[in-house]
């Protein structure tokens, strides 16, 4: 079974997410990819991977991914988030982190952990 991976990146980390996807394109192309709006659009356009896009994070995309986790439609979350920058939708970010923990979903919140997860695919 192909893994279903959600990809999310805060604004100042989106370029890093795009580069990470380029670096791991051979493994990611065998997966079903989901992403929040802008992140998914950039990955699709700049990397050439098919991505199902949800709404932008602040407009409910984080919550849509959380729903996908609780409904068993997402297996892994790669979330490049910036813990030092203020985010108006911080409660949504915390809810996503919580739901991934509750459902025992592997979740990378930084480059090092994302690399470990993708290497295990």
- pLDDT score at 81: 86
C-alpha closest to that of 68 among 1, 5, 2: 5
- 10 lies in a domain? no
Number of other CB atoms surrounding residue 47 within 10 Å = 20
- 106 lies in a domain? yes
- 11 lies in a domain? no
- 3 lies in a domain? no
pTM of the full structure: 0.93
- 56 lies in a domain? yes
- pLDDT score at 28: 97
How many distinct structural domains can be found in the chain?
1
- 42 lies in a domain? yes
- pLDDT score at 88: 66
6: enclosing H helix or E strand: strand 4-9
Can you list the residues of the chain whose pLDDT is less than 50?
none
105: enclosing H helix or E strand: none
- 64 lies in a domain? yes
Active-site residue list: 62
Whichever domain contains 90, its CATH number is 3.40.50.1380
- pLDDT score at 86: 65
- pLDDT score at 117: 95
Q: Give the span between the Cα atoms of 7 and 2, in whole angstroms.
A: 15
Domain that holds residue 92: 24-119
- 7 lies in a domain? no
């Amino acid at each position: 079974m192909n893994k279903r991976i959600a990809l999310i990146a805060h604004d100042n980390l989106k370029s890093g997410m795009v580069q990470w996807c380029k670096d791991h394109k051979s493994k990611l192309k065998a997966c079903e990819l989901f992403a929040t709006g802008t992140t998914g659009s950039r990955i699709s356009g700049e990397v050439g991977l098919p991505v199902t896009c949800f709404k932008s994070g602040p407009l409910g995309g984080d919550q849509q991914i959380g729903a996908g986790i609780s409904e068993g439609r997402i297996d892994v979350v790669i979330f490049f988030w910036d813990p030092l920058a203020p985010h108006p939708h911080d409660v949504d970010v915390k809810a996503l982190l919580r739901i991934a923990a509750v459902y025992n979903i592997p979740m990378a919140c930084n480059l090092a952990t994302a690399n470990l997860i993708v290497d295990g695919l």
